[in-house]
């Protein structure tokens, strides 16, 4: 499995937070912070938008680092991704992502 597929199956290579980090793009950081703030109904400052990928060493957004229940579960279970977990299809934590992103299941099964 590609190293840049997150535990949940999202493709970190396409993540704007990762792109902003790699390119030190302040304009993109502000855009992502604004969008994520709206999605999550919480204020996310642009300086929190620093991440190189969920499963690789390096910077993570505060949410991805310690608040994401999917990442925490996968780390606890010591699985490569949710695709390695026998409970994946019935997982309540993963369900919202599966519903909103059809590529996630494909990425997890690859």
Alpha helices, DSSP H only, in the chain? 16-23, 26-40, 62, 69-77, 95-100, 102-109
pLDDT recorded at residue 1 = 56
Backbone torsion region of residue 41, taken as left when φ is above 0, otherwise alpha when ψ lies between -120 and 50, otherwise beta: left
Burial of 74 (0-12, 13-18, 19+ CB in 10 A): buried
pLDDT recorded at residue 110 = 83
Tell me the pTM. Answer: 0.85
* Intervals of the chain under pLDDT 70: 1
């Amino acid at each position: 499995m590609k190293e840049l597929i997150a535990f949940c199956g999202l493709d970190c290579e396409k993540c704007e937070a990762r792109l902003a980090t790699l390119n030190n793009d302040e304009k993109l950081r502000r855009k992502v912070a604004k969008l994520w703030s709206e999605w999550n109904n919480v204020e996310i400052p642009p300086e929190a938008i620093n991440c190189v990928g969920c499963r690789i060493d390096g910077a993570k957004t505060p949410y991805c680092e310690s608040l994401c229940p999917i990442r925490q579960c996968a780390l606890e279970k010591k699985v490569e991704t949710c695709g390695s977990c026998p409970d994946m299809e019935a997982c309540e934590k993963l369900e919202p992502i599966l519903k909103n992103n059809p590529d996630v299941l494909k990425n997890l099964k690859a």
